[in-house]
Amino acid sequence: MSRRRQIYEGKAKILYEGPEPGTLIQYFKDDATAFNAEKKGTINGKGVINNRISEHIFTRLSHIGVPTHFIRRLNMREQLIRQVEIVPIEVVVRNVAAGSICKRLGLEEGQPLPHTLIEYYYKDDALGDPLISEEHIACFNWAGHEEMQDIAAMAIRINDFMCGMFAAIDIRLVDFKLEFGRLWDGDFSRIILADEISPDGCRLWDLNTNEKLDKDRFRRDLGGESEAYQEVARRLGLLQNEDGGPGEVLDMDHARSRLRPQKK
């Protein structure tokens, strides 16, 4: 597909004009950032792996009735997606204490939470993506009451599904970030899942060893970022063509040649 007009470039993806009205092409980069882009680097092959993992999860979520912006994968790094109006809220679903909640509340990392916790953050890197309440969301009209009900219900459903999906491959879903958008049909809109779901926005720990298989390896200078992302894809069964033949999906030998450990 010929390159089209660039619409937006973010920290991990680029959006291009799509082939039809109401569509975009989402390109996955190898760029890695942390701490609201204060730390920057590259994880070789990350875009390829994240494209496949996100495709896999969004497809499976659509099978259980979760509406998403995903249409189809185009190639190793690009997806065709529906164009939506992004709700300026990052939704974080937490099952285990990790990351910022430990600093804020003095919790020990790895401590199971009494129940699944949903947090909301205002999507603004310049402000550090501050934690907000539903009262803030209503006050500043970032999302309506019914929209927030839909967002919360989908977040819980997604969490229930992904906890089971990852547990089946011996991975604990510690927490993850979601973004939602409005899909407009004339004067009416509905909330659908947008952005991506990948090790960039999830904390994924090996169920037996608690080894981190996500972007925390980059945040904490642990090394082995590429191998960790590759391991998640391998366990999901995404590193080999369904027919066993050559193609855009990486097989294990190809993955090893492309995904080199990040030098420190």
Q: At 105, which helix (H) or strand (E)?
A: helix 100-105
Measure CA 146 to chain center.
24
Q: Is the dihedral of CA 56, 61, 62, 64 positive or negative?
A: positive
Residue 35 CA to residue 128 CA, distance in Å, equals: 8
Q: Is the dihedral of CA 29, 9, 93, 58 positive or negative?
A: negative
pLDDT of residue 109: 98
pLDDT of residue 146: 98
Taking each helix axis from N to C terminus, what angle separates 46-63 and 145-167, rounded to the nearest 10 degrees? 110
Taking only the tens of pLDDT, the chain with its 264 residues reads 456 899 999 999 999 999 999 999 999 999 999 887 788 999 999 999 999 999 999 999 999 999 999 999 999 999 999 999 999 999 999 999 999 999 999 999 999 999 999 999 999 989 999 999 999 999 999 999 999 999 999 999 999 999 999 999 999 999 999 999 999 999 999 999 999 999 999 999 999 999 999 999 999 999 999 999 999 999 999 986 444 433 344 443 344 333 334 333
pLDDT of residue 37: 74
Tokens at residue 229, please?
């992302």
CA angle 187, 193, 199 (to 5 degrees): 155
pLDDT of residue 2: 58
Residue 77 CA to residue 72 CA, distance in Å, equals: 12
Taking each helix axis from N to C terminus, what angle separates 225-235 and 46-63, rounded to the nearest 10 degrees? 30
First to last CA, the chain: 36
CB 123 within 8 A of CB 178: no
- What domains lie within the chain, and their CATH numbers? 6-84+223-258 (3.30.200.20), 85-206 (3.30.470.20)
Residue 107 CA to residue 100 CA, distance in Å, equals: 10
pLDDT of residue 263: 39
Measure CA 153 to chain center.
18
The structure's pTM equals: 0.89
Task: Enter the DSSP assignment of 207.
Answer: T
Assign residue 186 a region: left if phi > 0, alpha if psi is -120 to 50, beta otherwise?
left
Map 18-62 to HEC letters. Answer: CCCCCEEEEEECCEEEECCCCEEEECCCHHHHHHHHHHHHHHHHH
Residue 91 CA to residue 65 CA, distance in Å, equals: 19
pLDDT of residue 248: 42
pLDDT of residue 36: 75
Three-state SS for 264? coil
